[in-house]
Amino acid sequence: MSTIELLKSKMDEASFTKLAAINNDEVNDFIAKAIELCDPDSVFVGDDSDMDAAYCRVRAIDGLEEVQLTTNGHTAHWDGYFDQARKKDVTKYLVPSEENLDKNLNQVEREEGLSEIEGMQKDSYKGRMMYVRFFCLGSTNSEFAIPCLQITDSAYVVHSEELLYRRGYEEFKRQSAADPNFEFFKFRHATGEVDERKTSKNYKDNRVYMDYTRNTVLSVNTQYAGNTVGLKKLSLRLAIRKADREGWLAEHMFIMRSNGPNGRQTYLAGAYPSACGKTSTAMLPGENIVGDDLAYFKVIDGEFRACNVEAGIFGIITDVSEDDDPVIWKLLHQPGEVIFGNILVKDGKPYWLGMTGDIPECGENYSGEWTKGKIGPEGKEITPSHKNARYTVQMRDLDNADPDWDNPEGLPMGGIIYGGRDSDTSVPVREAYSWEHGVCMMGATLESETTSATIGKEGVRTWNVMSNMDFLSMSVGRYIQNNLDFAKEIKRPKVFGTNYFRKKDGKFLNGKLDKGVWIRWMELRVHGDAEAIDAGYGLIPKYEDLKILFKDVRGEDYTEEQYIAQFTLNIPEIIAKIDRIEEIYSTKVTDTPETMTKLMKEERARLEALRAEKGDYITPNDL
């Protein structure tokens, strides 16, 4: 049977007509391969219409992958009890036997891995509909656009992608007409056998494999969106390699707009590991969000510009409250499309850990019927909602979304932020001396300190280069060098480092919303409207400027005592961090850029000189 005959045998006329309009052999071949391998009863091909989006949403509800809630447009989805997060140990690159990939990266020989996962996906769509949907990473009809073809047997997956990404059917038609050999990303997901709640049953056989030689992601026996919505972190790994080939950057960063004096608008991007303040920074009151998770950087018309890769937010809902997260809270309580994931439902209403208000003592959650005190299979009490419970919403529904968030030309970047977490080392905000200094000594040295909420020992510093360590698809050294080399011929953004978690006597020195002040100081520095003090490992604010900003932004008086406590240099701790980082780059990284090695030595020398002159702990007034 020919490819066209095979496609026609599983599709109605409407679906085949949509597919034929794209007129692309690689698209047809990928879909035909999925039909042959997975053997669906039928195939639905969607375009960019609201009607096709609505059809998939209804299928998700009718197929019990989602349940309707009382608020119009709201649904809830549950993943399997043991399928609540990304599975790092089974997420692997498929590496051809003749190639070498950094040994720090999880991998399997390509043919071996393909054989395994295709064996698991064999006949997995029997009795089910196969969904073929077209989406786009980055703005459509732009230099940022990467078309994506998603194949799945889960209506929930494509419904999620409808909220999180731009529709890409017309983009496929456009690019295919311009060049039949255009590059696109491909995803094939199979839910696998399901239980009575329609959740993946064989969680022990989860597999998420990335074939970077074919721009393809394959996953099986999982429903959790981080493993199945291929356009998210899985596509980031493919995009990092594409960016490497083409001379741009794919980053794990939010993008926001800071609103400066006299209506000035300044765009900032930031990389923050988990629990370091990423979402709360992107969603600061008085500022505007462009995107909360992924960014592409390109030089366009001689400017360093960034694009939000996504069109929605797949956010952690735990601790979202009315006071701390007013924009998200409002969106989660008004009519409009929202998918809640792994929360508690009682009488058609959603509940989650850390929310404002009381939580019922019974309902339905990721464990099934739940009552307070219920013990899970691992012998621990089951919480009302999972700590990694989620919400999925669209950017356009956020009150604080920047009106220009989907600009096809991207947005000009004024600053890049690397946000870590430690209790005793870094000051709340500092500016790098240069792009190179920022990339190496703020981005490539990024650390996150474990907390009491983390399994294991508290206070352990985890290295996470530019908050992208889990998603690198090349060596660390090459990735850093690509950042160093990017956009050399143009004016590059200023680079900043933040740490919202400094403590004294066990208490945080910053308020939760003080980060709004640090952002506004960065905005002033981007435009040369505030002075700074050289602190040996970057430039720090002057007290006079922060005093004004605290009054303007927070409506609070900021004392000199606060300033001294927050911005005193802890030289021994800073040098201890350099020791840790030098050890990593001399043992774990085999291709550390010379620039990185040079800047670490220079930073150590500056700090040792300060220490010899002024002591171990130096107040900003003594600099």
Instruction: Provide the CATH number for the domain around residue 586.
Output: 3.90.228.20
Co-location of 576 and 448 in the same domain: yes
The pLDDT assigned to 279 comes to 86
- 270 and 187 in a common domain: no
Question: Is there a single domain that holds both residue 516 and residue 580?
Answer: yes
Residue numbers of the domain that contains 103: 3-61+87-246
- One domain, residues 526 and 554: yes
Question: Is 606 contained in some domain?
Answer: yes
Mean pLDDT over 406-434 rounds to 97
| pLDDT value at 107 more than 60 | yes
In this prediction, residue 603 has a pLDDT band, given cuts at 50, 70 and 90, of very high
How many whole angstroms separate alpha carbon 623 and alpha carbon 538? 12
pLDDT, tens digit, 9 for 90 and up, residues 544-584? 999 999 999 999 999 999 999 999 999 999 999 999 999 99
Within a domain: 81: no
3-state secondary structure (DSSP) of residue 403? coil
| pLDDT on residue 18 | 98
Measured distance CA(98)–CA(92) in Å, rounded:
17
Are 440 and 599 within 8 A, CB to CB?
Answer: yes
Residues 411 and 514 in one domain: yes
User: Would you say residue 78 lies in a domain?
Assistant: no
Does residue 277 surpass a pLDDT of 70?
yes
Q: Are residues 617 and 504 in the same domain?
A: yes
pLDDT at residue 87 in the model: 83
| CATH number of the domain bearing residue 191 | 3.40.449.10
Pick the range with the lowest mean pLDDT from 35-39, 222-226, 352-356: 222-226
Q: Note whether residue 318 is domain-resident.
A: yes
Does residue 27 lie within any of the structural domains? yes
Domain boundary among 328, 363, 397: 397
Residue 546 lies in a domain: yes
* Number of domains forming the structure of the chain: 3
Q: How far is CA 434 from CA 21, 121, 475, 608, in A?
A: 50, 50, 24, 21
Residues 509 and 454 in one domain: yes
pLDDT the model gives residue 451? 55
Indicate if 240 and 268 belong to the same structural domain.
no
Which of 206, 224, 246 marks a domain boundary? 246
pLDDT in tens, 381-390: 999 999 999 9
Q: Residue 113 is encoded by which pair of tokens?
A: 């891995």
Predicted pLDDT at 275: 81
**pLDDT digits 0-9 by tens, 49-86:** 999 999 999 999 999 999 999 999 999 999 999 988 88
In this predicted structure, what is the pLDDT of residue 452? 43
The sign of the torsion formed by the CA atoms of 490, 491, 493, 496 equals: positive
DSSP strands (E only) in 180-337:
185-190, 207-211, 216-220, 249-251, 254-259, 265-271, 288-291, 295-300, 303-308, 312-316
352 and 492 inside one domain: no
Query: Does residue 570 form part of some domain?
Result: yes
Q: Which residues contact 219 (CB under 8 A, 6 or more apart)?
A: 187, 188, 189, 190, 206, 207, 208, 209, 227, 228, 230, 234
Catalytic amino acids? 276
pLDDT digits (tens, 9 = 90+) for 473-530: 999 999 999 999 999 999 999 999 999 999 999 999 998 889 999 999 999 999 999 9
Q: Are residues 47 and 123 in the same domain?
A: yes
Cα separation, 146 vs 176, in Å, equals: 12
pTM: 0.95
Residue 454 scores a pLDDT above 50: no
- Are 599 and 491 part of one and the same domain? yes
End-of-domain residue from the set 397, 426, 446: 397
Read off the pLDDT band of 91 (50, 70, 90). very high
Give which of 192, 213, 44, 185 is closest to 117, Cα–Cα: 192
449 and 500, same domain (yes or no): yes
Asked whether residue 55 is assigned to any structural domain, the reply reads yes
